[in-house]
Amino acid sequence: MTSRTSSTRSTSSTRSTGSTGSWGRAGQYLALLGYLVFLAFPFLWLISTAFKPARELGSLHPTWIPRHPTLDNFRQAFDEQPLLRAGLNSLVAAASAALIAVVVATPMAYVMARRRGRLATAATGWVVVSQAFPFVLLIIPLFLVLKSLHLINSVAGLVMVYVVWSLPFALWMLVGYVRAVPLELEEAAAVDGAGRLRTLVSVTAPLLAPGIVATGLFAFITAWNEFFFALVLLKTPEKQTLPVVLTHFLGAEGAADLGPLAAAAFLATLPSLAVFAVIQRRITSGMLAGAVKS
Amino acid sequence: MRARLLILAGAVLALLLSTLTGCSDGDSGTGGKVRLRFQSLAWQKESVAATKALVKEWNAAHPEIQVQYVQGSWDTVHDQLLTAFEGGEAPDVIHDASDDLADFAYGGYLADLRTLLPSGLKADIPARSWETATFGKGVYGVPFLQEPRVLIANSKILKSSGVRIPTPEQPWTWEEFREVAKKLSGKGRYGIAWPLKEPVSITLNLGLSTGGRLFHREADGKVRVAFEEADAAVPSVVHDQVNVDGSAARTTLGMGGSDTLPGFFGGRYAMAALGFSYRQQIVQQAPKGFEWTVLPAPAGSEGLAQGVSPQTLSVAEDSPHKEEAAEFVGFLLRPRNMVRLAQGDWMLPTGTAALKDPALHTARYGWATGAALAGALRSAPAQSVRGYPEWKDKVATPALQEYYSGAIDLGQLRKRLVKDGNLVLARYQR
């Protein structure tokens, strides 16, 4: 009797836990769904707006699906502004900045992570402090320095700024990734007779690859979206980047040419999404590579 | 080993930089020609087209002075120009608004145009417009386009209500306007939409019609804020429409002009107080068959007077070709060209000759009503007041927003605008 009761209690308890578990999981999925909807809303609305004719944009009862979808906004955006050239400028600036930032930051991060000492601590502190400077304060001295180097109105000048701007955070990210690679692996490789370079290339680098890719992605997206430096440093239309060109659809007192603006903004998001999609696979494969090595 | 890695990274960096410097600016090699950069803020399709066409015409006729069109943006022009001036890289010809010029003019960044401009242009633009770009003794911009604030009304609602339709000759008084807005209100409908996201300039500019000045320049040249009965007239009407009559939509108090258009098209508001140039958006976005009309803003003791900050063209003080730049400005602002620019921007030209153009006196899209208001436009009250931007952002905007929403009364509004306002202005006038 006692045992039956106990068994019944146990089953009931298991059922109850199972029920709570499934409710909990449903709640998690719901929360995730809500979060995804929250994230996707602006992008979906942007797409919807990009395909709406002007008269639907002024409707008191806007719809998700355009009633009379049109490509006119895209045509107008391309007619009025040099979007392709601006896109190319943005791509060159962002890709170069990301590449350089990663190339410069990786060895620095390795040193900062592996060498513990006053210098490394001071360097880490400086990286943190440098993030506290609002760049509005830096823009005029920066402008003057670049001017003396004849790098105003130059994509090269802009790339230098983007590298300097993204470097501290890239460094900060990479230091974390390097610290996550067990030192014992490098020591084991050394015991097996691998030299320093071989250890770095064959053992550390594969494990660090996802971090390097993620850091590069961060630097790319930061530079791709950057507006203020590009606005100030690039003078001529041939050099302007996409975020600067997008503001040309805005008028005084918040007035906007909404349709072409949405069309251009939608197009401007595509390259960073594409880069993300491609690089995400690399991050996964890098993780797997690291797992096999360890 | 580390050295090798560093050398490798350095080599990659050098390679990239050498590739990228190939993309750098090539301003040299002008071959003896004068090259001017003209930063335009035209943004609507027609205005960009009109401005670019004029630049093309100039370049074709002046092979020795070539102008490059550079697109700027209203949203960012102040910061962008400030940095460019500081760095000595400003465009030669600068498009801006007169209320943005004060700091640049006093800072010595803009050329005094008094001796540079053609006499025909100087004579063509009325003194009241020149005042908007005069700072101290110098003239630092040519005011060329301006827009009054008007009432844009749903014609069907207006006609069916039986109210008197105002004209520039016989406008509504502010009291009459308040009564009309009540009559136009109904179930689910408000008589008027006041888009007051940026309440200060609307309040000050329309306040001129009742004799409001707010800023008083004293004998020692210092400006102080005073909020007198004449200053309170317009804000009181708006406040009462929202909080007493219920004839103005409370929700529009936080909106920009464009935000009110869907409600206006949907019949939720019978009228909207908007800038004259909003007609372009209405033409583009209004549903088919939607009938609308342009009415003058209400009049007070000073008639239809209202303040404006015209669009301006200036020449950079650092430009090595100031005379050529001024010559180009003179070309852009020839009467016929000024009309083209005005039509492109759906605004009014300041030039008297341009303003007479028949194209600006048609009843279509309310052009005639706007043109009839041009004579009543004055320099905005805060035009040359140093410290105005801070007063506006820190004192006047929150105070007016609270007053219009009913959170504070007129006495509290007065106290904040005057007491707090004068503290701010005093810092700029030591």
Question: What are A273-291's pLDDT values in tens digits?
Answer: 888 787 776 666 555 444 4
Q: Which residues of B touch A144 (CB under 8 A)?
A: 86-87
pLDDT in tens, B287-301: 999 999 999 999 999
Q: Is the pLDDT of residue B134 over 90?
A: yes
pLDDT in tens, B43-63: 888 999 999 999 999 999 999
Q: Is the pLDDT of residue B340 over 80?
A: yes
**Average pLDDT of A255-262?**
88
For residue A238, give both structure tokens. 């041939």
Contact (CB<8Å) A250/B43: yes
Percent of chain A topping pLDDT 70: 88
| In the block, residue with structure tokens 């804000």 | B235
Contact (CB<8Å) A60/B87: no
Provide the mean pLDDT of chain A: 84
Q: Is the pLDDT of residue B179 over 90?
A: yes
Chain A: give the shortest CA distance to residue B28, in Å: 12
* pLDDT confidence band for B204 (50 / 70 / 90): very high
User: Is the minimum CB–CB distance between B266 and chain A shorter than 8 Å?
Assistant: yes
Contact (CB<8Å) A247/B84: no
A283 vs B380, more confident: B380
Of A58, A96, A157, the CB nearest to B262: A58
Per-residue pLDDT at A291: 45
**DSSP assignment letter at B75:** T
User: Is the minimum CB–CB distance between B288 and chain A shorter than 8 Å?
Assistant: yes
A7 vs A129, more confident: A129
Q: Is the pLDDT of residue B96 over 80?
A: yes
CA distance linking residue A263 with residue A272, whole number of Å:
16
CA distance linking residue A32 with residue B191, whole number of Å:
44
* pLDDT confidence band for A19 (50 / 70 / 90): low
What secondary structure, in 3-state letters, does chain B show? CHHHHHHHHHHHHHHHHHHHHHHCCCCCCCCCCEEEEEEECCCCHHHHHHHHHHHHHHHHHCCCEEEEEEECCCCCHHHHHHHHHHCCCCCCEEEEEHHHCHHHHHCCCECCCCCCCCHHHHHHCCHHHHHHHEECCEECCEEEEECCEEEEEEHHHHHHHCCCCCCCCCCCEHHHHHHHHHHHCECCEEEEECCCCCHHHHHHHHHHHHCCCCEEECCCCCEEECCCHHHHHHHHHHHHHHHHHCCECHHHHHCCHHHHHHHHHCCCEEEEEEEHHHHHHHHHHCCCCCCEEEEECCEECCECCEEECCEEEEEECCCCCHHHHHHHHHHHCCHHHHHHHHHHHCCEECCHHHHCCHHHCCCHHHHHHHHHHHHHEEECCCCCCCCHHHHHHHHHHHHHHHHHHCCCCHHHHHHHHHHHHHHHHHHHCC
Q: Of A86-95, A228-237, B25-34, B302-311, which gets the smallest average pLDDT?
A: B25-34
User: Is the minimum CB–CB distance between B70 and chain A shorter than 8 Å?
Assistant: yes
pLDDT in tens, A131-144: 777 777 778 888 88
Per-residue pLDDT at B11: 46
A286 vs B318, more confident: B318
Residue A278, Cβ density class (10 Å: 0-12 exposed, 13-18 middle, ≥19 buried): exposed
Contact (CB<8Å) B87/A150: no
* pLDDT confidence band for A32 (50 / 70 / 90): very high
**Average pLDDT of B70-91?**
88
| In the block, residue with structure tokens 């993030």 | A131
User: Is the minimum CB–CB distance between B365 and chain A shorter than 8 Å?
Assistant: no
Q: Backbone phi, then psi, for B311, in 5-degree steps?
A: -70, 145
Q: Which residues of A touch B74 (CB under 8 A)?
A: 250-253
From start to end of B212-301, where are the E strands? 215-217, 223-225, 269-275, 292-296
Q: Is the pLDDT of residue B382 over 50?
A: yes
User: Is the minimum CB–CB distance between B1 and chain A shorter than 8 Å?
Assistant: yes
Q: Is the pLDDT of residue B221 over 90?
A: no
pLDDT in tens, A121-134: 888 788 778 777 77
Q: Backbone phi, then psi, for B192, in 5-degree steps?
A: -145, 145
For residue A114, give both structure tokens. 């592996």
Per-residue pLDDT at B117: 96
Q: Is the pLDDT of residue A209 over 60?
A: yes
Chain B: give the shortest CA distance to residue A23, in Å: 41
Per-residue pLDDT at B190: 98
Percent of chain B topping pLDDT 70: 93
Of B21, B27, B45, the CB nearest to A156: B21
**DSSP assignment letter at B151:** E
Per-residue pLDDT at A18: 59
Chain A: give the shortest CA distance to residue B389, in Å: 15
Q: Is the pLDDT of residue B330 over 70?
A: yes
User: Is the minimum CB–CB distance between B84 and chain A shorter than 8 Å?
Assistant: yes
pLDDT in tens, B256-274: 998 999 999 999 999 999 9
Number of helices followed by number of strands (H, E) in chain A: 13, 0
Taking CB atoms and an 8 Å cut-off, how many pairs form between chains A and B? 163
Q: Is the pLDDT of residue B207 over 80?
A: yes
CA distance linking residue B411 with residue B414, whole number of Å:
5
Q: Is the pLDDT of residue A7 over 50?
A: no
| Cα B149 to Cα B46, B74, B276, B393, B400, distances in angstroms | 21, 19, 6, 21, 18
Per-residue pLDDT at A284: 61
* pLDDT confidence band for B104 (50 / 70 / 90): very high
Range with the largest mean pLDDT of A127-141, B27-41, B332-346: B332-346
Contacts of A66 (CB under 8 A, 6+ apart): A48, A51, A52, A53, A56
Quick check: A48 and A65 in contact, CB under 8 A? yes
Q: Backbone phi, then psi, for B215, in 5-degree steps?
A: -95, 125
Quick check: B302 and B209 in contact, CB under 8 A? yes
A113 vs A14, more confident: A113
Measured at the CA of B305, the angle between CA B303 and CA B310, to 5 degrees, comes to: 165
* pLDDT confidence band for B17 (50 / 70 / 90): very low
Quick check: A87 and A268 in contact, CB under 8 A? yes
Per-residue pLDDT at B90: 92
